[in-house]
Amino acid sequence: MDVVARLQRRLSGPLPGHDAFLELSGYKRPDLERARQLDPPPRESAVLALLYPKDDELHLLLMVRPTYDGVHSGQVSFPGGKREPGDADLTQTALREFAEETGAAADHVDVLGELSSVYIPPSRMLVTPYVGFAERIGPWQPDPKEVARLLEVPLEQVMREDILKRREQFIQIMGRSVEIPYFDLEGEVVWGATAMMIAELRELLLRDAELG
């Protein structure tokens, strides 16, 4: 698909980063260099933002995490998790975690490139997001311990202007509620690190559309 090839070219160049989206949030995350110098250092992790055709249009896969006693309970995220000692690199981390959480083999996933890393203070995770494409994928067999449900979101919906909204949200590192931007996808509130990743992906795709 032309859009996938053009996105791959955009991912190989300078990335937009997160400043524009963070300005909507009214608060700053620790910059990546400062996060990398923390003692102990942050835990490395990776996620996969997978694009794939379904019903003749591109979709983006997200997942809703189960409700549990933890900082990411019930949140929407991309499949992914922390790097394990046996992972050769973070690309392998992203693909392994994707397969473990969704139950779908990652053999046919073509990794197009990576987005800007995000530091998540509550879990001390430094997350590298990868963008992948698969001409065919599935069947899905999500791990119920990791996934409450999968969200197969049409890319056209991801790109719509009216999905960007605002609401009050308690921010743990601030100790108070603030008005935050979020994406309304399939009726789910997508905020925080995942929203930052989606915002950057949208910016790359919009840039692609503007440049043709």
Amino acid at 157: Q
Confidence of residue 70 (pLDDT cuts 50, 70, 90): low
Beta bridge partner(s), residue 177: 170
Q: How far apart are CA 189 and CA 173, in angstroms?
A: 19
> How far is Cα 201 from Cα 208, in angstroms, rounded to an integer?
11
Q: Structurally, what CATH architecture does the domain formed by 2-206 represent?
A: Alpha-Beta Complex (3.90)
Please tell me the predicted confidence (pLDDT) of residue 176: 63
- Kindly report, residue by residue over 31-69, the tens digit of the pLDDT: 677 777 777 888 999 999 999 999 999 999 999 999 876
Instruction: Look up the pTM and report it.
Output: 0.90
Instruction: Determine the 3-state secondary structure of 50 from DSSP.
Output: strand
Any idea where the domains of the chain sit in the sequence? 2-206
Question: Model confidence over 71-100: pLDDT tens digits?
Answer: 556 799 999 999 999 999 999 999 999 999
Predicted local confidence at residue 209, as pLDDT: 55
